[in-house]
Structure 1
């Protein structure tokens, strides 16, 4: 996870990335792995794509619940459950 820094006078404040940035990081790091996983378990590629889309929809809705450590390590096991 990347921490953004903002200068305020003589102090530097660290803030957590936005929900959008967290989701984008998660998507970039996990999409291919999740698609590969889904492709091995369904008969049609379209079904695998639907499964992955549904997974990321849930991830977006619950982005605040995804542990930051999972994001830092790449594809989170949280998504597979």
Structure 2
């Protein structure tokens, strides 16, 4: 009896895998060079507002210590 249960579970799993592969195969993909060009264009258009490139002003940085530590 357990042989039938095992084979039916593997059949269900195989059907799920086939369905997932069908979905993935039907997805429309774009050319990698087009995607790379779009990514470069986006980065260039938004470079002025990117804090990794321009930095964060000390007055608006929430992670900067407000007080300095003084040792006596």
Larger gyration radius, structure 1 or structure 2: 2
TM over 0.5: no
TM-score (norm. length: structure 2): 0.29
Instruction: Between the two structures, name the one with larger relative contact order (CA 8 Å, sep ≥ 6).
Output: 1
